[in-house]
Structure 1
Amino acid sequence: MKSLLDLFLLILSFALTASAQFQFFEQMFSHGQQQQQPQNTGSDSAWYRQTYDNAYCDKYLCPGTLSCVHFPHHCPCAFSEVEDKVELGEGIAICASRGGWKAGEAARKIELARKGLL
């Protein structure tokens, strides 16, 4: 009876050892396949400068969106779903946050501010 128990314990220890080894190798080799956490973008502008330098545009390359347009004031807003583009005149345009205002309200407020009324 004692030898049967010893044999059972021996087989159980081999099984546990083999299982642990397979788990180790599974983790070791599947580590590269696991989804890695994204890393924060660097605080320097090297990525942007490289992307800007590699962008092809035979007209005007918008610095904020890297869009290729005919004139600087034709540049789109980077976040057009929450920004309104307001032309200030003489080919100058800015993008202003809508901030929950109704349509055209950002342009009206900017115009009031330009006149010193706001």
Structure 2
Amino acid sequence: MEFFHPNDASILVTVLSLFVVVFSLVSMFVKERLYLSEPLVCVAVGIALGPIGLNVVAPEKWGGNVDLITREFTRFVIAIQVLANTMIKGRFAKKYISVDLRDLISGESAANDGNA
């Protein structure tokens, strides 16, 4: 496609997103039946996809693009925070999102803050 030019940041985000989705689907099996922890699986996948394994994620090829990768991830982090804030407060939230869901999101956020 002419309008689609993947850069290092988009490839990295795609790989990480696919891993999160796939691991979310099989995590119960991995934890309960195989008795493997999430950190162990994540490290193994990181080694497999990194420069030692399949070389899908290769930071040494980025050269000066480390700033680009950092900037792209910063955009994602900010977008997630803005989206979560929009789902809890404001006219849109009051009109389209149930009170129970808003309370659940607020509670999850509070639990994460208390955990840190």
TM-score normalised over the length of structure 1: 0.25
Choose between structure 1 and 2: higher helix proportion.
Answer: 2
Larger radius of gyration, structure 1 or 2?
1
Which one scores higher on RCO, CA 8 angstroms, separation ≥ 6?
Answer: 2
